[in-house]
């Protein structure tokens, strides 16, 4: 799922005071020297590099400790502490020309468990990378795209080159990628605390005695990073496949209420929202041994343990299909979204009960939240607007849309250059103009010369009364199996962008999302 609000989305706190901006006292000292590509941030000086072919000034983190730091290192006594502004060190000139080390990775449970591979990782990882047009000083103030990477709140990094996205939008904005604490470094659910401490070698038998918890905490603070990384993986491995032990929770402070409920009340920051999801979001996250209705019910009971038998029966009614056992030899293909068969029992990944499970997990985890985001920013009393889309080019797995804005010139191995350029400029128009609409020529594909009307040229804002989405798809003259997955490949691909009703899409997805909203207190949010 992709949610773009200048690539940041924040819930409005209902009754909590947060500290003021930690960098305000540095602002008056900030300077940029164009000739030397040096920026003085008030607490440190960084020298970037000039990408001559792209015309961009780029400031990256470096694999050593010399980085574009936005917070102090969170190692040692600063583990699990609130972030602190960087120490002042203006004497050194730091070369910011390579990527930073990624934060420690926390892999989820899998059927073939191996210890966490954290080569190239460091707990000292709170850095950012900046991509700025070299002519920025001669232009008006530019908007800034802040890209916060995904990864199940447990994995990923800010190592993403956004140069092609900027250059294909006429150098009209600045881009920033950043890294942040996640997994055991940030999310610490109480039910996993003692298991994590035990896996890290800490003595928990006196946990409930006076000062017992402090002793455990001190032990964890003193542990080395590799020990904690593997302890995190061990705890996650005790769960169901493709689940993680350390996730954000509704704590009443930072996340003050269930996200579905806050979004329903319109408690959001920002002005506009571009919300997208992929057609086959959950294929990577559902165990592949679901073949019978009994397997499906057992999967739902494990995945949503707070649901009653009546709740599960109701869910199955909202996801109708026959109760036959899955035939692995059944043909698999992508659905159109607005005709039978639907993705309730058919996709490029699976059929029957297996696909039913994929549809359920995909909608409750990725797709319905993207609907709720679009609704929260639509018809708002503050004048916010939202736009909605689905990425459908096969295989349309979770994350597959990323190739549409992270590489150029594009080889066409997965998607055509026509699609990639249209998608990039759609994102750029939203960032710069607060509206993702693009020209008919771009939407239809520049190589075709077709300038006839395309709905993306007059993309209607999303509304609960007119819940429209754009279906981004393409004709596929051939497919190629890459890493076991089918991809739309080869010359002759043509953009197929359609305006559709998001509520009735895939046999009434909007109604199913309403069901999940009503079950919000019983499912993980």
Q: Residue 232 and residue 244: Cα distance in Å, rounded?
A: 9
- Which residues are bridge partners to 523 per DSSP? none
CB 55 within 8 A of CB 135: yes
Region 78-85: mean pLDDT is 87
Q: Is the pLDDT of residue 5 over 50?
A: no
pLDDT at 3: 53
Residue of 3, 6, 2 whose CA lies nearest to 401:
2
Matching fold, domains 18-247 and 260-522: yes
* DSSP-based three-state secondary structure for 362: helix
Give the residue, 412 or 484, on which the prediction is more confident. 484
Region 319-330: mean pLDDT is 79
Region 71-100: mean pLDDT is 83
The lowest-confidence range among 295-304, 404-413, 454-463 is 404-413
Tokens for 105, please give them: 């990775």
Region 52-65: mean pLDDT is 49
pLDDT in tens, 342-388: 999 999 899 999 999 999 999 999 999 999 999 999 876 567 899 99
Q: What is the DSSP string of 190-259?
A: HHHHHHHHHHTT---TTTTSTTHHHHHHHHHHHS-HHHHHHHHHHHHHTSSTT--S------SSSS-S-H
Write down the domain spans for the chain: 18-247, 260-522
409 upstream amide cis, omega within 30 of 0: yes
Give the residue, 28 or 479, on which the prediction is more confident. 479
Region 98-122: mean pLDDT is 77
CATH superfamily for 260-522 is Alpha/Beta hydrolase fold, catalytic domain (3.40.50.1820)
pLDDT in tens, 113-162: 666 667 788 888 999 888 888 765 666 788 999 999 988 888 888 888 88
pLDDT at 258: 83
Q: What class does CATH assign to 18-247?
A: alpha beta
Q: Is the pLDDT of residue 335 over 60?
A: yes
């Amino acid at each position: 799922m992709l949610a773009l609000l200048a690539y940041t989305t924040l819930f409005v706190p209902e009754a909590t005071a947060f500290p003021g901006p930690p960098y305000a006292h540095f602002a008056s000292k900030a300077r940029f020297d164009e000739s030397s590509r040096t920026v003085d941030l008030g607490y440190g000086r960084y020298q970037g590099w000039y990408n001559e072919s792209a015309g961009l000034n780029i400031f990256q983190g470096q694999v050593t400790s010399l980085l574009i730091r936005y917070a102090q290192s969170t190692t040692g006594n600063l583990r699990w502490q609130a972030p602190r502004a960087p120490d002042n060190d203006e004497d050194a000139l730091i070369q910011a020309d390579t990527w930073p080390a990624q934060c420690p990775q926390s892999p989820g449970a899998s059927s073939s468990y191996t210890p966490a591979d954290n080569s190239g990782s460091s707990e000292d990882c709170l850095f950012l990378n900046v991509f700025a047009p070299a002519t920025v000083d001669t232009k008006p103030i530019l908007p800034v795209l802040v890209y916060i990477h995904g990864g199940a709140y447990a994995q990923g990094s800010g190592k993403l080159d956004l140069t092609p996205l900027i250059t294909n939008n006429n150098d009209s904005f600045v881009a920033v990628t950043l890294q942040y604490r996640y997994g055991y470094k940030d999310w610490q659910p109480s039910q996993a605390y003692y298991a994590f401490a035990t896996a890290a070698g800490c003595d928990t038998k006196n946990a409930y005695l006076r000062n017992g918890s402090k002793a455990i905490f001190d032990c964890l603070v003193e542990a080395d990073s590799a020990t904690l990384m593997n302890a995190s993986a061990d705890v996650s491995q005790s769960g169901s496949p493709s689940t993680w032990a350390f996730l954000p929770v509704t704590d009443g402070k930072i996340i003050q209420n269930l996200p579905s409920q806050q979004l329903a009340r319109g408690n959001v920051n920002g002005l506009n929202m571009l919300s997208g999801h992929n057609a086959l979001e959950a294929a990577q996250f559902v165990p592949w041994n679901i073949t019978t209705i009994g397997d499906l019910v057992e999967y739902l009971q494990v995945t949503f343990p707070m649901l009653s038998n009546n709740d599960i029966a109701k869910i199955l009614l909202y996801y109708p299909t026959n109760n036959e056992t899955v035939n692995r030899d059944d043909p698999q293909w992508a659905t159109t979204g607005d005709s039978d068969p639907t993705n309730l029992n058919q996709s490029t990944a699976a059929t029957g009960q297996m696909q039913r499970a994929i549809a359920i997990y995909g909608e409750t985890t990725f797709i319905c939240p993207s609907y709720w985001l679009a609704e929260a920013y639509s018809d708002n009393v503050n004048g916010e607007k939202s736009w909605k889309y689905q990425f459908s080019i096969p295989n349309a797995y979770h994350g597959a849309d990323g190739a549409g804005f992270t590489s150029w010139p594009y080889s066409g191995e997965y998607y055509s250059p026509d699609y990639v350029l249209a998608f990039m400029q759609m994102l750029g128009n939203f960032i710069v103009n607060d509206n993702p609409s693009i020209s008919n020529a771009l939407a239809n594909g520049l190589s075709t010369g077709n300038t006839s009307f395309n709905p993306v040229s007059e993309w209607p804002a999303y509304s609960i009364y007119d819940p429209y989405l754009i279906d981004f798809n393409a004709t596929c003259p051939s497919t190629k199996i890459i890493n076991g997955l089918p991809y739309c490949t080869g010359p002759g691909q043509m953009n197929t962008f359609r305006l559709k009703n998001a509520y009735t899409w895939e046999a009434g997805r909007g109604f199913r999302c309403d069901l999940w909203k009503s079950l919000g207190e019983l499912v993980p949010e």
